[in-house]
Amino acid sequence: MLSEVFDKDTDEVFETPIVQQTSYWSEVKRKMGIDSYAFNFKVKRADIRHTGSENTTITSDLLVVLEYIDRQHCYAYVPYGPELEPDPDCQGVFLEELSECLRSYLPSSCIMIRYDLFWESCWAKDNDFFDREGNWMGPPEHRVQELRFNFSTHNWNFQKTLSNILPSNTLFVDLKKSEMEILNGMKSKTRYNIGLSQRKGVYIETLGIEDIDIWYNLYSETARRNGIYLHDLEYFRAVLTARTRCSRSPAEVMLLVAKTDNIPLASMFLVLSQKRALYLYGASSCRHRNLMAPYALQWQAMRIAKARGCNEYDMFGIAPRPDPDHPMYGLYRFKTGFGGSVFHSMGCWDYPLQNDVYTHFKAWEMNRQGYHLS
């Protein structure tokens, strides 16, 4: 299936709308002291697509981040990659062969490859997995997912992870429409809150690295309020200052803040990559919540992205359905108010390279909660 796999410099990663598969993301990781690798591969079109010429090939690539578990062991993490998405019944076989080809390039201490797949879930295309209101009920239990994904593979080695690292459910807003069409596609309450915020004098500014403390104060407040994991300040410095303009896959990063009377009310990181805009991180204050600053902030971010030539706006993480018991239900209500289409991906899958060590690692992971629930 794979005719060629070889490593290359991370600056040579192909341009992509997936921020986590860009040279920019590699530079963010480098600033945090984390190594990453890039690989090219070629595959016959007929091996991954049911339509296509038998003689043509597709060249694609992926970015791999090396995550250390302890001094003796690490794993290769592929954030939202590979971008190339085969037909559903070819996915396991393709990824198995890719994994075996990558094995020789990875350190001997690498116990597994973890693919955080941004491929659309095959169960999101099956009407049997939607309720009467049209809400997705989620994929089947892990055992059933593994049976389907490993079908036709040689080793039956893929295992669905207990939780996902990056969000497996998100929302895309179509920016190809006019601003009026985008507004009309929103829920009436969201449209009203945007107008209310503007009428109350909320305005949007762009922050530089010298103002990073404004962001971090809002972010820390949000993390404490919602009980979420708190990244340190240096991580956000890396996100804002990473530059890869000479690479093949640069990204533009903006730190926006919504204010009233010079008081910061909400802030967000907006990342533009190829034709996609990503709402990467957001935070808000408990003060002046009646001014609806997050609504004005999101709308301005969409307008900026549209003016920069982006075709879509990725809300980056929602609950899979409107379930009040889900920890991300609040985000679901807020983000779906802006309209758009919900997207459900495959999430994280492991390909063990050292089965004994991997078994111990998986048992350890069972005692801790992932960043995002399925």
Q: What is the DSSP string of 226-289?
A: HT-----HHHHHHHHH---TTSSS--EEEEEEEEETTEEEEEEEEEEETTEEEEEEEEE-STTG
Strands 36-44 and 2-8: antiparallel
Q: Among the three residues 310, 337, 354, which one is the final residue of a domain in this structure?
A: 310
Q: Do 68 and 16 belong to one domain?
A: yes
What DSSP designation does 367 have? T
Averaged over 281-306, what is the pLDDT?
97
371 located within any domain:
no
Mean pLDDT of the chain: 94
In contact, 244 and 24? CB cutoff 8 Å: yes
The secondary structure element, H or E, covering residue 135 is: none
Q: Do 254 and 108 belong to one domain?
A: no
Averaged over 71-84, what is the pLDDT?
97
Question: pLDDT class for 52, splitting at 50, 70, 90?
Answer: low
Total domains, the chain? 2
Q: Do 161 and 219 belong to one domain?
A: no
Query: How crowded is the C-beta side of 140, counted as CA atoms within 13 Å?
Result: 11
| Residue 152: pLDDT over 70 | yes
Q: Do 163 and 141 belong to one domain?
A: yes
Query: How crowded is the C-beta side of 281, counted as CA atoms within 13 Å?
Result: 20
320 located within any domain:
no
Burial of 364 (0-12, 13-18, 19+ CB in 10 A): exposed
16 located within any domain:
yes
Per residue in 163-201, pLDDT (tens digit) is 899 999 999 999 999 999 999 999 999 999 999 999 999
95 located within any domain:
yes
Could you tell me what percent of the chain has a pLDDT over 70? 97
Q: What is the CATH number of the domain that holds 237?
A: 3.40.630.30
* pLDDT score, position 228: 84
Largest CA distance in the chain: 64
Q: Distance between CA atoms of 42 and 59, rounded to whole angstroms?
A: 4
Single pTM value for the model:
0.94
Q: Do 232 and 160 belong to one domain?
A: no
Q: Which two tokens stand for residue 117?
A: 């797949």
* pLDDT score, position 371: 38
Question: Which residues constitute the domain of residue 116?
Answer: 2-168+345-365
Question: pLDDT class for 245, splitting at 50, 70, 90?
Answer: confident
Averaged over 215-222, what is the pLDDT?
97
Q: Distance between CA atoms of 295 and 197, rounded to whole angstroms?
A: 7
| Residue 1: pLDDT over 80 | no
Per residue in 327-344, pLDDT (tens digit) is 999 999 999 999 999 999
Q: Do 251 and 162 belong to one domain?
A: no
Among residues 323, 341, 343, which one has the least CA distance to residue 333? 323
Q: Which two tokens stand for residue 24?
A: 């920019």
Averaged over 149-158, what is the pLDDT?
96
Q: Among 59-63, 244-248, 279-283, 320-324, name the one with the lowest average pLDDT.
A: 244-248
Q: What distance, in Å, lies between the first and last C-alpha atoms of the chain?
A: 31
Per residue in 337-370, pLDDT (tens digit) is 999 999 999 999 999 999 999 999 998 888 765 4
The secondary structure element, H or E, covering residue 178 is: none
Q: Among 77-86, 117-126, 236-245, name the one with the lowest average pLDDT.
A: 236-245
323 located within any domain:
no
Q: Distance between CA atoms of 323 and 298, rounded to whole angstroms?
A: 23
Averaged over 56-82, what is the pLDDT?
96
**Residue-wise DSSP of 38-95:** EEEEEEEHHHH-SSS-TT-EEEEEEEEEEEESSSS-EEEEEET-------GGGHHHHH
Q: Distance between CA atoms of 9 and 142, rounded to whole angstroms?
A: 36
337 located within any domain:
no
Q: Do 160 and 253 belong to one domain?
A: no
The secondary structure element, H or E, covering residue 17 is: none
* pLDDT score, position 229: 84
Q: Which residue carries 């048992």 as its tokens?
A: 363
